Amino acid sequence: MNNPFTSTESVKSALSGQKYIPSDELATIVYLAQQLGKPLLTEGPAGVGKTELAKAIAGATGRELIRLQCYEGLDESKALYEWEYSKQLLYTQLLRDKLNDTLGQAASLSEAADRLAREEDVFFSNRFLLQRPLLRAIQCDQPTVLLIEEIDRADAEFEAFLREVLSDFQVSIPELGTLAAKHKPFVVLTSNNTRELSEALKRRCLYLFIDYPTLEAELAVVRLKVPDLNPKLARQAVEFVQRLRTTEMRKSPSISETLDWANALVALNAKNIDKEILDETMSVLLKHEADLQKAKRQLMSPPPPSRPRPDDFGRFSGN
Amino acid sequence: MESRILQLISALRASGVRVSLAESAEAFSAVDLMGIQDREHFRLSLRATLIKDVRDLPVFDKLFPLFFGTGQPPMMGGDLADDLTPEEAQMLADALRQMTENLRQRMERLMSGEQLSRSELEALARMVGLNQSDDLRHQNWMAQRMLRALAFPEVREALKELMEQLAQMGMSSERIQEIRERIQQNMQGLEQQINQFTGERIAENLSDKPPAEGVDGLMNRPFHALSDADKKVLQREVKRLAAALRTRIALRQKRAKSGQLDPKATIRANLKYHGVPMELRHRDRTRKPRIVVICDISTSMRFCSELMLSFLFALQGQVRKTHAFAFIDHLEFISDDFNGSNADEAIASVLLRMPSGHYNTDLGWSLNDFQNAFMDMLNGQTTLILVGDGRNNYNDPRLDIFSTMSRRAVRTIWLNPEPPYMWHGDSDMPKYAPLCTNVLKVSNLSELAAAVDELLSV
């Protein structure tokens, strides 16, 4: 397996090859995570490309991406494995004749039970094991990228269970024994910070905070993903979105929404961002009525004097 | 280098960041891997391994340059004497001669553009008592004191005079401007150097500081004996406790599900197995309580109420609905303040709206407010909680309303920081107590945690 992640620079170029524009910081931390074999915990507002990052890593390394979406009430049988009862039942029905053959010759009840016990393994084998994402990531013959999304939505008990998987990369199935990973998967966890994760889980991960991008970075993303939009319009659009983010909103527009909007502008063949176009397309960007009203009010007022743009790292110190 | 990293880690800990042993070991292996040649890589490897919370990032960003420098030396303008013509130098010397001896020395020093030496810095530090300081908020103040010790304000004054003198002597205004800029640049350089030095020194002191008093001690200290600094620690502790309680309560509620067998659901679920009961279904007996909480937030009770509220809102998932009210002399509905996710901010905004003043605490009147507008909130599923000391300033306790309320609610629990033997004077507790299902004494955090646990254990 060739690994394109041999240095920070190569991580950067490999991710860029997947149409993902990484900051220096992101590339360094991704490189560290893969060198140390640690899960990567990414946090940040919704829609800044946390999931995209995992996809890009999978694409860049040529690994399969296995996704596990967390939700309240997610448990081991949904995340790890489950015995396929109905299939087992079906098999016993269909194999009834064979079973009769095997058991029929038994002289006594205990002998029959012994014979049955000898065949037990047939029914508790990989054949009847329904692999869920975690087990699949561990059992896969090729190294994989395991994406565990929105871990903050899962219950605390599930988080505790996950810790075992993430630190040792092995799971115990009572009927089969302990299954260790053939290849350590590259694990990416995402969290929207809706609740505090446990210290123990955080301790096992490297931490990456992805914030809204700077104007230039976002412009680069738009240019890359929506190449049809003319450059002047793209800059105007991104500047507008950045301005929206500085105001208090119930939900600030994310990068994915900027991209949707850019696509909408292309589709409508917009020449300029004027009031008319905005009225028509703003709902792509803002998803709450109150936010829409606010943005429209703000549009009427002149733009604020241009403020100095924070540098690459300055933006973290602000919040 | 290793000891420097360790110092950074202990300074982080002293600033309230939780860094475990495993994480610091991780930081070292990350540094091993990335090397220390590239400053940015070094910074990121430490940050990704040590900091696991957005809120701790600013702390790291503040401390890191104090231990590992800002990356560039302070900007000094350089030696002024290098580019003066002899006549100009003569003029400058003449002008300087007009000043007092002390000022002249300092001025010459500034013109030479030299940085302060280590020993000079140490001497200054001793003079202003920097070595005793272990609070980064003092950094600017300490730096100012050191600059004053270097007579910077006087030098600034003198600089103006010097420029006027030179102008009178006939130096061209552009040259004067250049000289002034050069000197000012040197002053700024020194300011930077001193700022950096004070920051570093305070950060070092911080890392030497013994870790703050264990949380256990704080848990059992009475509310009225807590300081503002303790409060911060406790808020964190409340979050941790709430998380523990949440898990416990969730487990309890989950277990409660496996009570009675639900035949209908079981048959339906097992149709796919030919009616062989492979999966059992149970009646859902989970009954999450609805809570109405009325908190006294007068000065004496504020602390207890505040922690109680953060508890309740941290437990939101385990409670069906919480309606919160606060009162001093009248009642206010405060649940709306908690719609955001951050309980600390919510409490601050409530306290801002109801500042503590010389009110007369009046529960009777507040109960009257409740009766007028909110009585329908109490029903057969509601637990009513009162947090207060029941000291009513001899106002009418309105026992009639209170007994109606406790009759309507399924349970009435009163959390009082005072033990029964203190219920005299203006305390109406003896009158209220018989109407409550339960009166719990809550005078410190561990008692509060126990009370909340009790509350949700039905």
Looking at the fold, whether B59 and B85 belong to one and the same domain comes out as no
Residue B216 belongs to a domain:
no
Closest residue by Cα to residue A34 from A62, A12, A7, A2: A7
Looking at the fold, whether B16 and B140 belong to one and the same domain comes out as no
Predicted confidence (pLDDT) per residue in A67-95, tens digit: 999 887 788 888 888 888 888 888 888 88
Looking at the fold, whether B194 and B304 belong to one and the same domain comes out as no
CB contact under 8 A, A28 and B45: yes
Predicted confidence (pLDDT) per residue in A216-253, tens digit: 889 988 888 888 888 888 888 898 888 888 877 778 88
The DSSP symbol for A41 reads E
Minimal CA separation from A20 to chain B, in Å: 20
Band of pLDDT at residue A316, cut at 50, 70 and 90: very low
pLDDT of amino acid B427 = 86
Minimal CA separation from A167 to chain B, in Å: 12
Option in B23, B48, B51 nearest A32 (CB)? B48
Residue B222 belongs to a domain:
no
Looking at the fold, whether B261 and B384 belong to one and the same domain comes out as yes
Looking at the fold, whether B200 and B87 belong to one and the same domain comes out as yes
Looking at the fold, whether B294 and B177 belong to one and the same domain comes out as no
Q: Which residues pair with A81 in a beta bridge?
A: A131
Residue B73 belongs to a domain:
no
For CA atoms A114, A118, A119, A122, the dihedral sign is positive
pLDDT of amino acid A67 = 93
Looking at the fold, whether B363 and B440 belong to one and the same domain comes out as yes
Band of pLDDT at residue A309, cut at 50, 70 and 90: very low
ipTM entry: 0.76
Looking at the fold, whether B299 and B361 belong to one and the same domain comes out as yes
Looking at the fold, whether B136 and B44 belong to one and the same domain comes out as no
pTM, two decimal places:
0.67
Q: B445-455 vs B228-257: helix axis angle to the nearest 10?
A: 20
**DSSP result, A213-238:** PPHHHHHHHHHHH-TTS-HHHHHHHH
CB contact under 8 A, A89 and B273: yes
Angle, CA of B391, B393 and B397, to the nearest 5° = 70
Option in A33, A43, A156 nearest B247 (CB)? A156
Predicted confidence (pLDDT) per residue in B185-207, tens digit: 888 888 888 888 888 888 888 77
Query: Measured between alpha carbons, how far apart are the two ends of chain A, in Å?
Result: 41
Q: Which of 185-244 (B) contact A at CB < 8 A?
A: 239, 243
Residue B220 belongs to a domain:
no
CA distance B455 to B458: 7
Residue B213 belongs to a domain:
no
Residue B321 belongs to a domain:
yes
Last residue of a domain, one of B177, B208, B239: B208
Going along chain A from its start, the domains and CATH numbers come out as: 8-79+132-209 (3.40.50.300), 82-128 (no CATH), 215-318 (no CATH)
Task: Tell me the Ramachandran region of residue A50: left when phi exceeds 0, alpha when psi lies from -120 to 50, beta otherwise.
Answer: alpha
Q: Which domain, by its residues, includes B134?
A: 80-208
Looking at the fold, whether B366 and B424 belong to one and the same domain comes out as yes
Residue B214 belongs to a domain:
no
**From first to last of its 458 residues, what are the pLDDT tens digits of chain B?**
788 888 888 888 887 788 888 888 989 999 888 888 888 888 988 998 999 888 788 888 888 888 887 666 666 666 666 667 777 777 777 777 777 777 777 777 777 777 777 787 888 888 777 777 777 777 888 888 888 887 777 888 888 888 888 788 777 778 788 878 888 888 888 888 888 888 888 888 877 766 555 556 666 777 767 776 677 677 777 776 777 666 666 666 665 555 678 888 888 888 888 888 888 887 765 556 788 888 888 777 777 777 777 777 776 656 767 788 888 888 888 877 776 555 667 777 777 777 666 667 888 888 999 999 888 888 887 888 888 888 888 888 888 999 999 999 888 989 888 888 888 888 888 889 899 988 888 888 788 878 877 776 65
Q: Residue B261 sits in a domain of what CATH number?
A: 3.40.50.410
pLDDT of amino acid A148 = 93
Minimal CA separation from B430 to chain A, in Å: 41
Report whether B187 contacts B115 (CB < 8 A): no
Please check whether residue B252 touches A, CB under 8 A. no
Band of pLDDT at residue A313, cut at 50, 70 and 90: very low
The residue of chain A with its CA nearest to that of B273 is A86
CB contact under 8 A, B272 and A25: no
Which residues have a Cβ under 8 Å from the Cβ of A119 and sit 6 or more positions away? A102
CB contact under 8 A, B239 and A199: no
CA distances for B172 relative to B77, B80, B107, B162, B180, angstroms: 21, 16, 21, 14, 12
Number of domains in chain B: 3
Q: Which residues pair with A68 in a beta bridge?
A: A148
User: In which residue are the tokens 């256990």 written?
Assistant: B216
Residue A300 has pLDDT above 80, yes or no: no
Residue B217 belongs to a domain:
no
Predicted confidence (pLDDT) per residue in A146-204, tens digit: 999 988 888 777 888 888 788 888 888 887 888 888 888 999 999 887 777 888 888 88
Averaged pLDDT score across all residues of chain A: 83
Q: Which residues on chain A are in Cβ contact (under 8 Å) with B34?
A: 28, 32
CA distance B405 to B174: 83
Looking at the fold, whether B147 and B233 belong to one and the same domain comes out as no
Band of pLDDT at residue A1, cut at 50, 70 and 90: very low
Query: Measured between alpha carbons, how far apart are the two ends of chain B, in Å?
Result: 56
**DSSP result, A260-297:** HHHHHHHHTT-SS--HHHHHHHHHHH--SHHHHHHHHH
Looking at the fold, whether B393 and B259 belong to one and the same domain comes out as yes
Please check whether residue A155 touches B, CB under 8 A. yes
What is the per-residue burial (b if ≥16 Cβ within 10 Å, else e) of A89-106?
eeeeeeeeeeeeeeeeee
